[in-house]
Structures are given as C-alpha cells and as structure tokens.
C-alpha cells in the first residue's frame, strides 16, 4: 500500500505538469503582450519543477525513495576535527530542514573541548537516501584553526557514512548468538533520567566485529531497537560492497571511496572554495554550502555516478 501511494502521488504530479503545460500553451496563443511578465514567471516555475523531477528520475535505486541513516565521525586531528564534525552535522541538519525531512537523533558523543566525536541520525522522508548517499566519504576542511594559539592553517578530516533505512526488512537476519549487548549510563546532555538509568546500549556483532551504540532515548528498549537498526544497515552495506566489488572485478572501472580519499574539500583559507573531487563541481560560496545548500553537489553526483 505504501508503494502504491507513492506511485499514485508521482502520477498526480506528472498529470498536474501536463495540465500546466497545456494551460500555458493556451495562454501563450492568446497573449497580446499584457500577460508576458506573468507568463514568463509561470514558465520559470514550471522549468524549475521539471528540472527537479528530472533529477528525481536519476534516483532509481531500490532504496532511493526511503529514509536514511546518517553518521558523522571526527577523524585524526583532535579538537579541530571534532569541531569540523560538528560543522558537518549542522550542515546536514540545515539541509534536512530545508527539505522538510524528519530527523531523529540516535547517538551522539561530544568532543572533549569542542565539537563531536560522532553523531548518528535517522533522516525520514521521500528520497532521503537517494540524495544523501552522494555524501558518503571523507570530507576535508582547510582553515585557520580557532584552537591554535598561533592561528596557523590546519587540515581536518571527518567521515560521513550513509545507509538506507531498512524497514521491516528480511534481507538482513541477525542471529542472537552472534551479538553481545551491553547496557550502561548515557553520557552528555539528555536529562537526569537518561544519565542516571542504564538506558544506553552497545551492541557488538561478533562475526564482523562491528560495534554500534545508541544512547539518545530514555528507554533502553528503544535504544536497543535503534542500535539494531543501525547494525542491520551497516551489515547490509558490507553485503552490498561485496557485491559491488564482485561487479567491479568484472567491469574493471569502479573505485571505492575509502578513508584517506576525500570526496570533497572545503577550503576557507587562503581562499574560499568547496570542491567535489569526483565530479569537479565547485563553488566559492562556502558559507551557503555550510548552511546546508547541498543540492547542486548532490545533483552533480547523480549525473556523474558510475553505473555499478
């Protein structure tokens, strides 16, 4: 029923576009010059809508229309990298708010002096994973460090991970004997009940060695469910990567994005520039990007991405 509702909404949009085109054709034929400005405005709006729908046609993956799990991890570099991770967190939160996506914080660990060590969010809404998957990889920041007394230029790295939200999926089965579950007191902000009670959950998947934590909710049960959701998503990624590696061996072209190979650089000094190293798309408006204006980068990646 959910799939039918989504397809119905899509058909309604295209039907509306068809009617708008027919209406505009009729108005253009009758225009004596008095409607020119109004018609131009309507045409611009229609072109923008068509461009958006054209980009959505590129999102044809099995999980593109669903929600996403977004994780941000500070890399090497101490306080600067942790502050950079917090800047990325703010950037993605702003982007999600612009697109009216629902956000749920699953886990967040603060840095010792500033920023965050890591944060994990569930981003719910149509096409959330389709767009956010373009952000997966290492993000590099070059700036004059506010934490350096000599105010020298520093380079910081943070890793962004994105997985599809697997709702009630039978694709990934976890054997209870393969996991160790530990409960502990939550740290950081969250209220007295969160910090006093044993509500935080840490799950270790023994066969893979993956460790997932969740401590945002007051309920241990809810934290456990959210941690399992993240673990399933990470195991799904491993399975998909193994499949991609198998295909790449046959095709001989696809390159993995791994730690150390940054996908995008954000340079704030000695000049202002954000550049995506995969698509070569760049902009000098660094503040707009850090404020969440990421659509141009995402659309450039959708048009560039290799078929795997």
pLDDT digits (tens, 9 = 90+) for 276-291: 999 999 999 999 999 9
pLDDT at 142 over 80: yes
Tell me, what's the pLDDT at 128? 95
- Quickly list DSSP for the chain: -HHHHHHHHHHHHHHHHHHHHHHHHHHHHH--STTHHHHHHHHHHHHHHHHHHHHHHT--STTTTS-EEEEEEE-SSTHHHHHHHHHHHHHHHHHHHHTT-EEEEEEEEE-SSSSEEEEEEEEESTTHHHHHGGG-EEEEEEEE-TT-TT--EEEEEEEEEEEE--TT-SSS---GGGEEEEEE---SSS-HHHHHSS-EEEEEETTTTEEEEE--SS-HHHHHHHHHHHHHHHHHHHHHHHHHHHHHHHHS------TTSEEEEEE-SSS-EEEETTT--EES-HHHHHTT--HHHHHHHHHHPPP-
Give the highest mean pLDDT range of 33-37, 236-240, 294-298.
Answer: 294-298
Between 239 and 119, name the one with better pLDDT: 119
From 26-35, 58-67, 157-166, the region with the lowest mean pLDDT: 26-35
Domain ranges of the chain: 2-57, 68-169+254-304, 176-251
Between 29 and 71, name the one with better pLDDT: 71
Cβ neighbours around 268 below 10 Å, total:
16
Span 50-66, mean pLDDT?
84
Span 128-136, mean pLDDT?
95
87 vs 92: CA distance, rounded Å: 9
Nearest partner of 182 among 200, 167, 195, 170, judged by Cα: 200
What b-and-e string marks burial along 103-117, b requiring 16 or more CB atoms within 10 Å of the CB?
A: eebbbbbbbeeebbb
pLDDT at 61 over 90: no
- Alpha carbon of residue 199 to chain centroid: 27
- Bridge partners of residue 264, in order along the sequence: 139, 276
pLDDT per position as a tens digit, 146-204: 988 788 899 999 999 999 998 765 668 889 999 999 998 876 554 444 455 788 999 99
180 vs 172: CA distance, rounded Å: 17
Tell me, what's the pLDDT at 135? 97
What does CATH list as the number for 68-169+254-304? 3.30.70.1660
Confidence of residue 207 (pLDDT cuts 50, 70, 90): very high
Domain 176-251 has CATH 3.30.160.20: yes
Span 12-22, mean pLDDT?
90
Span 123-134, mean pLDDT?
94
Confidence of residue 8 (pLDDT cuts 50, 70, 90): confident
Reported for 242-248, long-range contacts at CB under 8 A and 24+ positions apart, including other chains, are: 244/308, 247/308, 248/308
Tell me, what's the pLDDT at 308? 40
Q: Is the dihedral of CA 74, 64, 263, 171 positive or negative?
A: positive
- Alpha carbon of residue 288 to chain centroid: 17
pLDDT at 217 over 90: no
Confidence of residue 247 (pLDDT cuts 50, 70, 90): low
What is the average pLDDT score of the chain?
A: 86
- Percent of the chain past pLDDT 70, that is, above it, reads 88
pLDDT per position as a tens digit, 72-124: 999 977 899 999 999 999 999 999 999 999 999 999 999 989 999 999 999 99
pLDDT at 68 over 70: yes
């Amino acid at each position: 029923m959910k799939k039918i509702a989504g397809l119905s909404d899509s058909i309604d949009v295209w039907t509306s576009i068809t009617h708008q085109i027919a209406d505009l054709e009729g108005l253009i034929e009758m225009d004596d010059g008095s409607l020119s400005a109004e018609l131009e405005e309507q045409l611009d709006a229609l072109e923008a809508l068509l461009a958006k729908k054209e980009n959505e046609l590129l999102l044809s993956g099995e999980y593109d229309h669903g929600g996403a799990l977004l994780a941000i991890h500070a890399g090497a570099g101490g306080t600067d990298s942790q502050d950079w991770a917090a800047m990325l967190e703010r950037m993605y939160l702003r982007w999600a708010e612009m697109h009216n996506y629902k956000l749920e914080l699953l886990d967040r660990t603060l840095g010792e002096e500033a920023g965050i060590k890591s944060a994990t969010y569930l981003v719910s809404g149509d096409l959330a994973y389709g767009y956010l998957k373009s952000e997966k990889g290492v993000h590099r920041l070059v700036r004059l460090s506010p934490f350096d007394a000599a105010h020298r230029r520093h380079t910081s790295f943070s890793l962004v991970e994105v997985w599809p939200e697997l709702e009630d999926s039978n694709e990934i089965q976890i054997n209870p004997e393969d996991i160790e579950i530990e409960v502990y007191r939550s740290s950081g902000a969250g209220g007295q009940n969160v910090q006093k009670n044993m509500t935080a959950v840490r799950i270790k998947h023994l066969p893979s060695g993956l460790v997932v934590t969740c401590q945002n909710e007051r309920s241990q049960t809810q934290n456990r469910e959210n941690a399992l959701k993240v673990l399933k998503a990470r195991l799904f990624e491993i399975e998909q990567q193994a499949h991609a590696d198998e295909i790449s061996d046959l095709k001989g072209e696809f390159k993995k994005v791994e730690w150390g190979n940054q996908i995008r650089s954000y340079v704030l000094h000695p000049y202002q520039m954000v550049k995506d190293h995969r698509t070569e798309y760049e902009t000098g408006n660094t503040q707009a990007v850090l404020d969440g204006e990421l659509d141009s980068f995402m659309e450039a990646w959708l048009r560039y991405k290799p078929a795997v």
